[in-house]
Every structure is written in C-alpha cells, then in structure tokens.
Amino acid sequence: MVPAAMGVSAPFCHGVLPFPAAARGSSARSRGGRLGLAEGCCTGPVAAAVTDAAPVTGAARLGRRRCELFDLHRQIVPYVDSWGWQKSIVERRKALVGIDTDTDEDHSDTLIALQHPPVYTLGNGNDEKFLNFNIEDSPIEIHRIDRAGQVTYHGPGQLVLYPIINLRYQTKDLVWYQRSLEELIIRALQSAFSIKASRIEGLTGVWVGEQKVAAIGIMCARWIVYHGLALNVTTDLTPFQHIVPCGIKSRGVGSIKQILQKASSGRELNDAELMDIAYESLIKEFAEFFQLSLEPSPDLHL
C-alpha cells in the first residue's frame, strides 16, 4: 500500500518530532581551496568554496528580516519527519498572520536544509503510467501526498531546502516566488561551480542542457509559502530510471557531480565537499536574494 503523508501539500515535480540529537550543532562549513576541474560544459574551473558564505547575522545585516536556519544538510532525515516539522511551523505561524504587515505578528522566517533517504512522492493527480513498476511493489519507500504534479524522487546526495517564508514581506505572487527559487539556484551553480544553468519555458525547475538538476515545489497558506527546492548534488540517479520524473518523458535528470566529472574527464570528486560547497552557495544566494538575516538555531522552538 502507498502510505499518505498526513495531509501533506508538497508540489515537487516534485505530535511534532524534534531534530535528532546527532544533527544538533552539525553545521558544516566549506573547507576552502579549489577543486580545479578543467573547463567543459561548465563556463570555467570550479570555484573555490565560498569563503564569505557564513550565515548573514542580524548584527551584520541590521534591518533585514530574521530567518532561523536549521542546518541538517549532512543529515538524512525521513520524509515524514521533515513534513511534521514544516506542518508545525506553518500552523504556528498562520495564527500570527494579520491582515497586512502592520498587524502581522509573524516576525521570523525559517529555512531547513537536509537530505532524505530514498523515497518516491506522488501527487494527487499522479498517473501511474509514469511509474515503471507496480505501485503495490515499489522498490523503495513511496508516499502519495496532497499536491499537484506527478512522481518525483528524493534521496541521499540531494540537497533539499525547505524555506517557510511570509510573502507579505516579499512579493505576494507565487509565480514570482517559483522563478525566484530558480534564479537563486542558477546563481549558486554559477558562483560555486561555474556551471551555467537555465530555465526552460513552460517547465518548472533548473536545467543544465537537457538535464534537470533541481526540482521546485511550493504550497501556500495565508501567504506563508513552504516546501521548496531539491538540488541533485551527488545523487545516485538510478532511482529516476524507475519513474518518469514529473511526467516529462523528453528530458533527463542530472547531478552536479555528474556534470563536473564529465567536464574533467572523470576525475574523482569528494562527495562531502561538493555537498558543503553547494549548501554554502545556496544559503548565501538565498539570504541575499530575499534580504534575510540567517540565524543558525540548534533546535525547533514549538
């Protein structure tokens, strides 16, 4: 049977659980230095780990809206656990939202960074023809969730960011927000890895050539948006072969590691370093794009 994820709304085309003790204080910073890969489909050698990518604190960016950062980017977190955290945060913050910013008591945004164990998620409108297996005999964990769109995959090596943002302090436009997430991914790939990524008209996500490297999915409640983006960093792409990702048959799926190895004639790369660099670059671009002050937090306060 396909378990449902507790009324989840997560269009990725893709009791509250505390963060695990092993994850607390696990924030990893990039190590510096260059990977020094040769030019190829990238626009130049891979950039050094971003040295100024530490979270932007309130003291450093006076006047910016506060955003709590829960850094689990090296942790493997079950899908239903992350949904429980998001749901609790959204429900708590919905009660603080006013009619406008003058009466709004929702004074802080949230960003959660993590990885998931192997899992397929299916939207409400999922057509089982996009599954290359019997849904009752899935090769990995599978969840039918309350969102639009088709099937997608999450797994280790895929960096997932779940921003929970009050768009009253940004722009009250969901299309604008989706395009904004795409833009910050494009900027992060360029600045950290010199990879030239782009959008494809009519499709959601970020692409390098014909390969999709990042999926984006959002939901909204009282202009508080949640869910977010999934970037294939060192992801094993094999599970994507068992599905038609997002129902798009004409294009493939890629990863940062795959792209860089192709550009360097198969040079070995350090997975942990690639994940750290991708994480640092993404949160730096996220903070700059949305003008937020990222404040690391060891645990949720619910």
Contacts of 279 (CB under 8 A, 6+ apart): 28, 71, 73, 113, 159
Kindly report each contact of residues 176-182 with a partner whose C-beta sits within 8 Å and lies 24 or more positions away, as own/partner. 177/218, 177/225, 178/204, 178/216, 178/218, 180/289, 180/290, 181/216, 181/218, 181/228, 181/229, 182/206, 182/214, 182/216
Contacts of 287 (CB under 8 A, 6+ apart): 55, 56, 67, 293, 294
- Kindly list the catalytic residues: 246
291 contacts 64 by C-beta, under 8 angstroms: yes
